[in-house]
Structure 1
């Protein structure tokens, strides 16, 4: 039935598994994607959207590295928004609303059109391990399938338990059974496991809603897209809507608190801090009279609607009664109630930067099995695990992104260095170099590295190089070209900026806070340069950011370079920290458990102080 031995077996076909399979296969590994249901490849288990704050940057990075998430998102988008445009460009974050069915279909088609990917539908019940190395998987039918590396991307399926009020039943998500056997084997092999929780709102019939009393939430007037490839931007979009809960809704929800698994002790695990259930919100923020609810269509043609902000595990009758009291939902009809799900995860401090486990060679974890939440976080881990599984079995150098190179680098480093006891979600605030890690320059940062590795194609590289050349030339034009006071002063007056008395370089006046590219294009020399060089909107935006934020960018680069020196100081493998008596007890324990590879990584471990780092530097002769 199978190849004699696959190069890589990927277990699970959610966002992490799909990206892992695509990456390994595109690099040349013969790959088997095993899933319990081939109809749910790339399924959006929760909200029908991709991107958002910091998450949009991750999707752009996946795309720049040759992954599929950005392309699939563009092809299935029904709305596009650039969030945080009122803030600086480091905070701008792209987001799409997607057609749930088309999203999964596009993923399936993308994988089926990827040479080297085979598919098999069955539950994986265990791993084949020989001499401390993963050599394949065992299925529920008792089949042994051999491989040189295994990537586990089990999502919420490992011993998944669904809660709706005082009812509970096994399942990986609504309508699908849980996966058993893997956790027990891994624990037996010496892995530490834990439990986490996530939840999802009810899905309702859009025909039963009154949109006329809600606030429309349209997409951008000029929608962009995720992928740097030739996918098309939207020409028409579907609106989302916003409404609010009320004190009456809160009172009706409270009536079910005694039957809530969150409050009666049935659920003991932690859920996502920044995506709390509605009952958690009204309990924690009792002073608030209302909370926002976003009414999100599930696709172009379906009437199914996702009620964003109403995640809950309360009894279905309580959910229904409370939601009927929300403005616009008076006649609501349910497609299915919301629920919470508990599942097994493995603290990610048990992994290397490559996402390979420390205990078992050639075994990789990606996605919610590592304690993360979110499609984008999962997809990026799958991409990295797929890449590194391929590189490892071909005896090539590992692919690791630093914290100043990508949000993906921040994500992986946070997980394996600090671990997590609650579902980890990416935010811009987690990245100390977020001015460098913008959504607009992900291709400039990562396409060359992907091309070197063999993932990004030559056409991607050439497109990126042209963008870089044109934007740099435009910035240089502003540095070298002078303005005439008579030309620039009317513009400065219009934005209440002080006038100039003598000619100076355009770069200087363009750097002023209220002067935009649109203002500069009013100057004849600038508009002529743009026309002559055929500069598009993307180039104009890139040049404007480089001019306005040049000082901040240079400062962050300098800080990153300083810290990179610590990254270059390696710690010997298996270093015995117990012999350094000057280290604090906590530092010795943490360093021994995590086994950092460099001094820089050691400095980011919670509980390791600057004085502990000084001790290590002295010992290393620095």
Structure 2
């Protein structure tokens, strides 16, 4: 069946595996994607959404480099929101609700239309290794498939164990069996492994819900999209809804705590800190009588609904009884109960920055096997592993993104240098250069790199160059063009801003926080420039950010230099971190436990972010 050797074999067809296979194949490697079920390629195992805080930036970066996630998302989106628009552009984060079935279908079809990509459905339960180098994989049927490089993207399937109350089921996902054999072999070769936990909420029948008593959560009036290419823009959207738990709901859930694997010792592994189960929230935040629940449709036409915020591993009868006491859920019908899942992972400090393992040459890990959580984090690792697997076997230099180049660079560097003892999730606060790493400029930062790799096609590069050229020209126009008081003062009066008494450069007036691009477009000279140069929304947004935040960007670069110079500052012995309220709760907890001797050591602790280091530096400077 497999007479010829593959260049790259990707094991697993989730978000990491799909991006890894696409990257390696598009760069010219003969690639085989092996997965236990070809019907679940690119499946959204948990919530039907892509993007979010910092995650949206990652999807834009994947797209800019020539990955598929942004395109697949746009083709299956049912609602789009730009989060954090009330804050500065470094915090703006795109998020899309998706049609779960269409999302997986788009992934499958895109991969099938990718030259050099073959498929095979079976469990991989072993690796072929010779003289410290991987040479292929072994399947459960005993087939040996040769390859020059292997990328493992096993998700939650390695010795996966599903928990629902006191019941335990072997499986990597509801209705699918676990993967065995690989962990044991890797341990034999000297790898360290651990166990992590994640969970998912019940799926319910939307026909049984009363939306009239819930709060509608519509998408943006003018929805955007993820890909920088000509993917479809939404013409219509589906609403999500919001409701809340109550003290009664919490009491009903507590009745099942004695049968909860979270509290009776059955689950010993650590779950996602920032996506806790409902029972964990009730236990940790006992002073709160209510928690938000987001009611998310699973697609355009299906009645299946995802209950975001109600992740649980409590017995199914407890889940049902409690959920029926939530406003709008009084007559709810279950499609399936929520559950927790434990699985094997391998601490990522065992990897190089290329995501190649240190112990076995040409073997790469990507996704939840590295201790991360989230579709976006997994997809970005898959992309990087696929790229570097191809480059390695072709004898080319590795591709490594630095922390000031991409959130993907921050993610990989955090994993490799700090490791993680709990499921790692990306946040804007993890990036010390987040003003530079915005969602709007991912194409400007990364498309040239993607083009050099052979992933981003020439049309993508030309679009990026045109956007850059037009925005630079527009910024130059604002710097060089003056405006007289008679023209600008009526606009300044609209926003209660101080009037000008003499002519001034438009750049200076535009830099005022109250003045927006819409205000500037009221000037004839500005609107004429826009029309004459056919400037679109992306160029207008890019120009506005460059004008209004140029000082902040320069300041951030300067602060980054200071951080590098001061990272060896000593921290006093028995330093009291509790008095620094600006530190995140997680940072105070970790710093107090570990008591680092220097700022450099503090910065390497998982959960201590660059913003926390800045707080420490300011305090020690005082």
Q: Do these two structures clear the TM 0.5 threshold for a shared fold by scoring above it? A: yes
- Tell me which moved more, 487-496 or 324-333: 487-496
Q: Does 1:61 align with 2:58?
A: no
Residues in 2 aligned to 1:412 and 1:259: alpha-carbon distance in whole angstroms: 38
The CA deviation string for residues 305-324 of structure 1, in whole angstroms up to 9 with x for no partner, is: 00000000000000000000
Aligned pairs (5 A) from 1:197-596: 197-560=197-560
* Post-superposition CA distance 1:543-592 (Å, at most 9, x none): 0000000011122234556778999xxxxxxxxxxxxxxxxxxxxxxxxx
**CA displacement at 1:4 relative to structure 2:** 1.5
User: Structure 1 residue 86: deviation in Å?
Assistant: 0.4
2:135 corresponding residue in structure 1: 135
Change beyond 3 A, Cα 1:380–1:565: farther
Superposition deviation, residue 601 in structure 1: 9.9
Q: Report the more deviating stretch, 556-565 or 146-155.
A: 556-565
**Could you tell me whether the CA contact under 8 Å between 2:26 and 2:455 is conserved in 1?**
yes
Residue equivalent to 2:168 = 168
CA contact (8 A) 2:161 2:168 kept: yes
Could you list the runs of 5+ residues in structure 1 that have no partner in the other structure? 568-599, 609-622
Supply the distance in 2 between the matched residues of 1:488 and 1:543 (Cα, whole angstroms): 19
User: Is the Cα contact below 8 Å between 2:432 and 2:560 reproduced in 1?
Assistant: no
Q: 1:175-196 CA deviation, whole Å, 9 max, x = no partner?
A: 0000000000000100000000
* Partner Cα distance (2:566, 2:258) in 1: 53
Residue deviations 1:299-357, cap 9 Å, x none? 00100000000000000000000000000000000000000000000000000000000
Give the whole-Å Cα distance in 1 for the aligned partners of 2:558 and 2:421: 33
Residue-by-residue CA offset, 1:344-372 (whole Å, 9 max, x unaligned):
00000000000000000000000000000
Q: Secondary structure at the match of 2:355?
A: coil
Shift, 1:490, TM fit: 1.3
Question: SS of the residue aligned with 1:532?
Answer: helix
Secondary structure at the residue paired with 2:293? strand
Count, aligned residues: 576
- Distance in 2 between the 1:507 and 1:538 partners? 19
- Secondary structure at the aligned position of 2:440 is classed as helix
After superposition, give the CA deviation of every residue in 1:386-432 in whole Å (9 maximum; x if it has no partner): 00000000000000000000000000000000000000000000000
Retained in 2: the 8 A contact 1:404–1:560? no
Provide the residue aligned with 1:16 in structure 2.
Answer: 16
What is the Cα deviation at residue 465 of structure 1?
0.1
Q: Deviations over 1:156-175 (max 9, x none)?
A: 00000000000001000000
Listed one character per residue, the Cα deviations across residues 276-309 of structure 1 (whole Å, up to 9, x for unaligned) are 0000001111111100000000000100000000
Please identify runs of 4+ aligned residues in structure 1 that moved more than 6 A. 561-567, 600-603
Q: Deviations over 1:39-75 (max 9, x none)?
A: 0000000000000000000000000000000000000
1:30 and 2:34 equivalent?
no
In structure 1, distance between residues paired with 2:373 and 2:448: 29
Cα drift, residue 444 of structure 1: 0.2
Q: Distance in 2 between matches of 1:455 and 1:3?
A: 28
Q: Residue in 2 aligned with 1:41?
A: 41
Q: 1:364 & 1:566 partners in 2: Cα distance?
A: 34
Shift of 1:492: 1.1
After the TM superposition, which residues 96-111 of structure 1 pair with which residues of structure 2 at under 5 Å, given as runs?
96-111=96-111
The equivalent residue for 2:154 is 154
Query: Match of 1:605?
Result: 604
In the other structure, the counterpart of 2:83 is: 83
SS at match of 1:89: coil
CA distance change for structure 1 residues 603 and 450 in 2, over 3 Å: closer, same or farther?
farther
Partner of 2:583: none
For the 8 Å contact 2:14–2:41, the answer to whether it is kept is: yes
Alpha carbons 2:163, 2:169 under 8 Å: kept:
yes
In 2, Cα distance between equivalents of 1:106 and 1:406 = 26
What's the CA shift for 1:142?
Answer: 0.6
Taking the aligned partners of 2:169 and 2:188, their CA distance within structure 1 comes to: 25
Distance 1:126 1:323 in 2: 42
Structure-1 separation of matches of 2:602 and 2:273:
26
Describe the SS at the equivalent of 1:207. helix
SS at match of 2:172: coil
RMSD of aligned residue pairs (Cα, Å)? 1.6
In the aligned structure 2, how far is the partner of 1:601 from the partner of 1:125? 41
Distance in 2 (CA, whole Å) between partners of 1:403 and 1:347 is: 20
* Counterpart Cα distance in 2 of 1:112 and 1:566: 51
Say if 1:602 and 1:324 are closer, same or farther in 2 by CA, change over 3 A.
Answer: closer
Q: Which runs of 5+ in 2 are unaligned?
A: 568-598, 609-622
Q: Alpha carbons of 1:114 and 1:603: their partners in 2 closer, same or farther (altered >3 Å)? A: farther
What SS class does the counterpart of residue 352 from structure 2 fall into?
A: coil
What is the CA–CA distance in structure 1 between the aligned matches of 2:363 and 2:560, rounded to whole Å? Answer: 32
Cα deviation, 1:421-477, whole Å, max 9, x if unaligned, reads 000000000000000000000000000011111111010000000000000100110
Q: When the two structures are superposed, what TM-score results if normalisation uses the length of structure 1?
A: 0.91
